Chains A and B, each alone.
Chain A
Amino acid sequence: MATSQEPVIVGFLCNWCSYAGADSAGTGRMVQPTNVRIIRVPCSGRVNPRFILRAFQRGADGVLVSGCHPNDCHYSTGNFFARRRLLLLKRYLEYLGIEPARFETHWVSASEGQKWAEVVRSMAERVKALGPSPKLPSLL
């Protein structure tokens, strides 16, 4: 949280690709930061933009949404809908005064444990550089 040294990143991971990808990073014993708190969702299309704002509201320093690569969605098109929505959301958050780097979207497949570790490492670095999130209550 804002008071601790280590930033907290809330990660919404799709069940079929990214969650399995994070799992394979773990079973592959890849070294990765422990900043991400994972929430498993059926599909990146399940992520309501409200989830993201709620995470920030409750003190998350960063939010990460990760799903299957485009065209690889378990439900065929879920991530395409998510992509449009999150594109719009990213600009909207920036407009409201939340640093855009605090919110990221990535595509990580089940076999990309290496990529997952890299995504977590680089995002944790960026969020750490930003410092603790001002938290919405004090931001506004």
Chain B
Amino acid sequence: MPKSLALDPKKMKEAEAALRTQAAKLLSEGTVTVFLGHEEGWDGLPVPFFATTPEEAKRLVWNPLVAFNLAKYLLDRLTGEEKVGIVVNGCGSLALDRLLKDRRFPRERLFVVGIPCTGLLDPDKVLALPDEARQAALEGGKAEPGLFLKRCGWCDAPNPVVADVVLGEKVPEEAGPQQYPRVEEIEKMSPAERAAHFKTLYEKCIRCFACRNVCPACSCRECSLDQWEPLWLGKATVPSEQLMYHFIRAFDVAGRCIRCGECERVCSVGVPLMELNDKLMKDITELFGVQRPHVPADVEPLGQWTEGDADLEAAH
């Protein structure tokens, strides 16, 4: 997919109609009691929307701006027996699969509607466009590669990996080794340059925890960053605590990150968080031979070992 980022608004319109019909059917038949999707927000940006009646299902939308990760909203519905419907595209299904593999939500209580993805646009960038250009991008499918979400650039899973029903045709996949150009650049720097690079990065962070909250791999019942005892993360916004936070956030999802880049997208101050996640993914591939570290596996790379793993002791 990365090479041929091709938006197909017509296909998306068809998918939207099919999605509304499907959701209305599920809700009226009682298969699910709630359906997680998106609706049009006040500024044209789709916002998460939970339909509970067939009438409400008509408000569901599917367009190039549905970037929000819905899977995490399932955690609000852990209690009870109700069955939940959810719509996902490729990366949405990876997020969902992450929660399922982490055993955070029972598969039996889910009905997954999958839609093969032809690429999504970055809502912030699109909303900033003049009216005509925005129209052309959203309805005519004429979008510069720079308008796409960053994750579309490295996506190798446009088709849902978890789905009960798939609406629309499969999109051809271009599987190849994942590339990490930003990490390679940073690796070439000297240690002092790297330290300075990350210093400027984390000076920006206001620790709003949006990156943690949006992350489908960060789903502990009680987050260690919120604990007072032990106090892993001091409350002061001093550089060493900033580093501690970003160290913990990235390392705790090492081997489980799905490379959706949502952390980076939701960051209100523009910290390029994926520089850390990508580094860990790159190393997991190099050290343990996991070719697609971002695709949830039954056993995560750090949850297993082989006798042939490189020995650290030899390195000194």
Q: How far is the CA of A106 from the CA of B302 in the complex (A)?
A: 19
> Are B244 and A92 touching (Cβ within 8 A)?
no
- Picked from A77, A88, A135, A140, the residue with its CB within 8 Å of the CB of B302 is A88
Residue-wise, chain B 279-295 has the 8 Å CB interface mask toward A (1 for contact) of 11001100110000000
Contact B315 A90 (CB under 8 A): yes
Report the separation of the CA atoms of residues A86 and B186 in the bound assembly, to the nearest whole angstrom: 21
Interface range on chain B: under 10, 10 to 19, 20 to 34, or 35 or more?
35 or more
- A88-B280, A137-B240 as given contacts; A83 in contact with B302, CB under 8 Å: no
Q: How far is the CA of A52 from the CA of B232 in the complex (A)?
A: 12
Of the stretches B92-100, B121-129, B140-148, B194-202, the one at the interface is: B194-202
Contact with B along A97-124 (1 / 0, CB 8 A): 1110100111100000000000000110
A53 vs B243: C-alpha distance when bound (angstroms): 9
Picked from B202, B247, B283, B302, the residue with its CB within 8 Å of the CB of A53 is B247
| Residues A83 and B202 in contact, CB atoms below 8 Å apart | no
Q: Are B307 and A83 in contact (CB under 8 A)?
A: no
**Chain B residue with Cβ nearest A80:** B305
Is A95's CB under 8 angstroms from B244's CB? no
For the complex, give the distance between the alpha carbons of A55 and B198 in Å: 19
Chain A residue at minimum C-beta to C-beta distance from B241: A57
Contact present for B251 and A136 (CB under 8 Å) = no
**B316 CB-CB contact with A under 8 Å:** yes
**Interface flag for A87 (CB, 8 Å):** yes
Secondary structure at chain B's binding surface: helix, strand, loop or mixed? Answer: helix
Q: Which of A65-99 contact B (CB under 8 A)?
A: 70-71, 77, 80-81, 83-92, 94-99
Is B301 on the interface with A (CB-CB < 8 A)? yes
Tell me if B248 and A87 are in contact (CB < 8 A).
no
* Smallest beta-carbon distance B70→chain A, Å: 30
A88 and B186 in contact, given A83-B312, A96-B195, A107-B313 (Cβ under 8 angstroms) = no
Assess whether A87 is in contact with B310, with CB atoms less than 8 Å apart. yes
Size of the chain A interface, CB-CB below 8 angstroms: 40
Residue A33 at the B interface, CB < 8 A?
A: no
Chain B residues with CB under 8 Å of A94's CB are 191
Question: What's the Cα separation between A136 and B245 when bound, in Å?
Answer: 13
**Which residues of B157-193 are within 8 A (CB) of A?**
186-187, 191-192
Expressed in whole angstroms, the Cα–Cα distance for A139 and B199 within the complex equals 8
Within the assembled complex, what's the spacing in Å between the Cα atoms of A107 and B316? 12
Interchain CB contact under 8 A, A136 and B284: no
* Cα A68 to Cα B284 with chains together (Å): 24
A97 to B243: give the CA distance in the assembly, Å. 11
Shortest Cβ gap from B176 to chain A (Å): 23
**A131 in the interface (beta carbon within 8 A):** no
Q: Which residues of B contact A97 (CB under 8 A)?
A: 191-192, 194-198
| Distance A55 CA – B282 CA, assembled complex (angstroms) | 26
Q: Per a CB cutoff under 8 Å, which of A81, A84, A92 touches B251?
A: A92
The 3 closest A-B pairs by CB, nearest first: A97-B195, A140-B239, A80-B305
Residues of chain A having any CB pair with chain B under 8 Å = 49-50, 53-54, 57, 70-71, 77, 80-81, 83-92, 94-99, 101, 104-107, 122-123, 126, 134-137, 139-140
Task: Mark B residues whose CB is within 8 Å of A.
Answer: 186-187, 191-192, 194-199, 202, 232, 238-240, 242-244, 247-248, 251, 254, 279-280, 283-284, 287-288, 301-305, 307, 309-313, 315-316
List, sorted by A's number, 9 A–B pairs whose CB atoms are closer than 8 Å: A50-B248, A53-B247, A70-B311, A80-B307, A84-B304, A84-B305, A88-B280, A96-B194, A99-B191
